[in-house]
Amino acid sequence: MLNPLLVEDAVRAALLEDLGRAGDITTNATIPAMKQARAVIAARQPGIVAGLDLAKAAFRLLDPALSFETRIADGAAITPGAILATIEGPARALLSAERVALNFLGRLSGIATLTSRYVAAVAHTKARIVCTRKTTPGLRTFEKYAVLCGGGFNHRFGLDDAILIKDNHIAVAGGIIPALRAVKAAIGHLVKIEIEVDTLDQLDEVLTEGADVVLLDNMTPARLREAVARVKGRLLTEASGGVTLETVAAIAESGVDMISVGALTHSAQVLDVGLDIQIN
């Protein structure tokens, strides 16, 4: 579940951005203050839902008198025309919150939908699809939540919750061995260590020194199979680098444990959802 405090902070900031200094001048000019309305949020295309809590918060923050009833849960598959939620109450608040609610819901549902396609493509293997830190600034928690809704798994959330020694760290530190030894001397016993390698020779160095996870960067499926064979289960293997829906199955069939896909969050297409006023 999403932390409600994080949800409120993010949605409040989005509402402030949209309403500006004078509020919704269009709605305030055209809709009487006491007018009531009822609406539904409906799917325009198939996909996986994510972000209903943020949509609800957009309406309730503008006016707690608005009722928001979900008809489906995050993580559920939807078809065009499916009703995701109903909203009823003061018309001005309903209309003013519409875009912020749909922006969150469409964005997160798009990520969940794309993730589900990657997950389906590797379902015949043991590989897990994981996200990266290539997220929209300020929205990482929610975008990673959407990955979970789509059946994927989360990589680290930030620079502070796991070690990931990348190629530039290795270059500055003076090599694989010095980088790993420096990290082991500096961190606590509960912190996992992952290190990136580009070649099988580098992998051999990692296996000599030891780590928890090795990131196999931009390797072909054949090279990945050789890497997995060398590792022999001694540590977790993660494939990364330019992974697409067209290539992910072959990568998974190499036997790697995880496949990290930046596209899940940086290239997902927004899922088309809309708000329709119900006229009595």
Catalytic residue numbers, as ranges = 99, 134, 166, 196, 217
What ranges in the chain are assigned the alpha helix state H? 4-19, 25-30, 52-62, 91-121, 140-149, 167-173, 176-186, 200-209, 221-231, 248-252, 263-266
The rounded distance, in Å, linking the Cα atoms of 179 and 195 is 9
Give 98's contacts (C-beta < 8 A, 6+ positions apart).
Answer: 275
Alpha carbon of 240 to those of 38, 92, 145, 170, 216: distances in Å?
47, 47, 20, 17, 6
Q: Are 260 and 249 in contact (CB under 8 A)?
A: no
Amino acid symbol at 87: I
Helix (H, G, I), strand (E, B) or coil at 22: coil
